[in-house]
Amino acid sequence: MIRIVVDAMGSDNHPHPDVEGAVMAAREYGVEIILVGDEARIRPVLEAQRPSNLPIRLVHAPDVLTMEDKGEELAFKARHKDAKNSMAVGIDLVKHGQADAFVTAGNTGAAMVTALFRLGRIRGVERPALAPIFPTATGSCVVLDVGANPDCDPLHLLQFAIMGSIYAEKVRGVQRPKVGLISNGEEEGKGNQLVRDATPLFKASPLLNFYGNVEGKEVIGGKVDVAVTDGFVGNVMLKTAEAVAKLIVDKIRNAIKAGGLPALIGGLLIKPAMGQVKKLLDPSEHGAAPLLGVNGLVFIGHGRSDAIAIKNAVRVAKEAVEAKVLDAIKSAIEDSLKK
């Protein structure tokens, strides 16, 4: 049985959504759940869910990494061999083969630093990358990096592309994923120096189905399955996309409320369609983004994750384990080193 560690102290409203989502996942997906965190706070929430005979166990971790943990203090808490925070304890379960994947909705920076220190990088990978799924006109697109690496060189982008392509193929089920390099123009030669220097590496790689440069509109339009950029541009792109999605839904809702009876009737008629659109734009549908490049499966969700988001994060982690994503990425990076 696949074993997924859930950081029960991760979300902004922990431990309720974290525990509730984990229990839902154990019921629906047939995985073993290992809840990590403060037992005194977790156990009452867990018992309220009546888990009965579900394969759920609790590992006590008295400490929590928060948004206040930064710099040297964070590094110390992330790497200390006797660390007792929920991220360190949970990731160590993966490191020592006692679990197959780790899921958290906690501080993204803390999760990345802890995973990097405790799991290390895959041999040949210089930087790990965070790779969320963007909704597109034709389905979805893996976009990376979105914040782990604000400053990159061309080799980093090539490695992101290889890892993202493997993830799209193994987990998203896309055959020969089309890979785009995010730029300010479609034409070759456009973009900053990083994009121009990365282009020949992408074109020369036999591991990539390189589409070429893509602007934001091509990404959202579904022209590529994997879109690659540095963490600075990717994070701006992610935050903008989330804000625009929320703005559209809020504006439509407010317009219906302000439009009187005819608008309310029309709102009722389009409610099913709006539900589908809202679901498409809802980050909780994908649950969490994989941190690709560390030597273990780590998934990081939004701090505002609810129980549904946590449940879906466990589903995505389960799919990655079943697809043997980690082994596939290791093999692809090994091949790239031989070229």
Highest mean pLDDT among 74-83, 101-110, 266-275: 101-110
- Ordered by start, the domain boundaries in the chain are 3-125+286-331, 133-283
Q: How far apart are CA 181 and CA 152, in angstroms?
A: 13
Tokens of 36: 């990590």
Q: Determine the pLDDT at residue 185.
A: 87
Which tens digit of pLDDT belongs to each residue from 195-246? 999 999 999 999 999 999 999 999 999 999 999 999 999 999 888 888 887 8
Alpha-carbon distance 146 to 235, whole Å? Answer: 4
Query: Mind listing the pLDDT tens digit for each residue in 57-69?
Result: 999 999 988 777 7
Are 291 and 268 contacting, i.e. CB atoms less than 8 angstroms apart?
Answer: no
Mean pLDDT for the chain overall: 90
Q: What is the pLDDT of residue 244?
A: 83
Same topology between domain 3-125+286-331 and domain 133-283: yes
For the entire predicted model, the pTM comes to: 0.91
* 178 vs 265 pLDDT, higher one: 178
Confidence class of residue 281 from pLDDT cuts 50, 70 and 90?
low
Angstrom distance (rounded) from CA 48 to CA 77:
32
- Say whether 104 sits in a helix, a strand or coil: strand
pLDDT classification of 338: cutoffs 50, 70, 90: low
Report, as an integer, the average pLDDT of 163-178: 94
- The pLDDT tens digits of the residues spanning 297-325 come to 999 998 889 999 999 999 999 999 999 99
CATH 3.40.718.10 for domain 133-283 = yes
Do the beta carbons of residue 319 and residue 294 sit within 8 Å?
A: no
Q: What is the mean pLDDT of residues 323-338?
A: 87
CA–CA separation, 247 and 241 (whole Å) = 10
At 191, the pLDDT band (50, 70, 90 cuts) reads confident
User: Does CATH number 3.10.310.30 belong to domain 3-125+286-331?
Assistant: no
